[in-house]
Homo-oligomer: A and B are copies of this chain.
Amino acid sequence: MANRQTRDRIHEIIFEADTPTGKRFDIGLMILIVFSVIVVMLESSEEWESRYSGLFYVLEWIFTIVFTIEYILRLTVTIRPLKYALSFYGIIDLIAILPSYLSFFLVGTQYFVIIRILRLLRVFRVFKLGQFLTEGDQLRRAMIASRNKITVFLFAVTLLVVLIGSVMYLIEGGQNDGFSSIPRAVYWAIVTLTTVGYGDITPQTDVGQFLSAVVMILGYAIIAVPTGIVSSEMFEQAAMARKTNTQVCRYCAKEGHDDDATYCKYCGGRLNEEH
């Protein structure tokens, strides 16, 4: 289709974000994705759909065609098209365009085309865009580091919620429709302990209200735990990132210099310049 040089150039534009053109391509693509997702969302609303169904139809096909061209380009410029096609992003890219074509053959219910909303996942590519990489990375590492603690915590919360739900079922079960079964009572316990508090199910007996109050005060103390876990982990990550300046003074061999230091703060000697 194209000679090697053109192919390399296109590859650089659509797969990388180092060049200005590549960056502009990524940002343009992101805007297009966000727009197409907003259209899918509005299409699901009867009010909007009845008013603008023609416009939505046209827009949807424009998005599909652009994404299709992009998909074909991606397939042709990669050296291993199959590997790309079977990768996470390759599949997402295909899901982004397939439903529109399939809606010709299938009598597509409105529910089927919603799969197009997964286009949104393509936006994650934007994280290639420089400055967010480190941040996202630090967040992810803090999450991973606190994963085990969070698991233990969620496990304990689940136990607690089942026990609280069962007790409330025993107390309110007879008089209150909201607590008609243990699963519903557990649902109430989760709504309460997480401080969401819809109010669709609320205790009505005195004992039930008293117990709820205890659960809420408890939840107050419990909500502090995951925050404590993540805060502490986050701080560790930040401390680690800070310590990465491993510069050692040539004259006095001391460490711990700030990133913006030119001279050793202990002996006044000039710090290594190739740092």
A41 at the interface (CB under 8 A from B): yes
A154 to B114: give the CA distance in the assembly, Å.
23
A150 to B132: give the CA distance in the assembly, Å.
10
A236 near B238 with CB under 8 A, answer yes
A233 at the interface (CB under 8 A from B): yes
Contacts of A44 in B (CB 8 A): 169, 181-183
When C-beta atoms are compared, the residue in chain B nearest to A43 turns out to be B182
Contacts of A212 in B (CB 8 A): 187, 191
A47 to B180: give the CA distance in the assembly, Å.
10
When C-beta atoms are compared, the residue in chain B nearest to A189 turns out to be B213
A87 to B268: give the CA distance in the assembly, Å.
45
Q: Which of B121, B154, B262 contacts A267 (CB 8 A)?
A: B262
Q: Which of B46, B170, B197, B233 contacts A197 (CB 8 A)?
A: B197
A229 near B219 with CB under 8 A, answer no
A192 to B170: give the CA distance in the assembly, Å.
26
Query: Which 5 A-B pairs give the minimum distances between C-beta atoms?
Result: A263-B268, A45-B181, A196-B197, A228-B230, A198-B199
Jot down 14 A-B pairs with beta carbons below 8 A, ordered by A. Answer: A45-B184, A111-B173, A114-B170, A135-B151, A139-B229, A142-B228, A143-B225, A154-B217, A197-B197, A224-B226, A224-B229, A227-B228, A262-B265, A264-B265
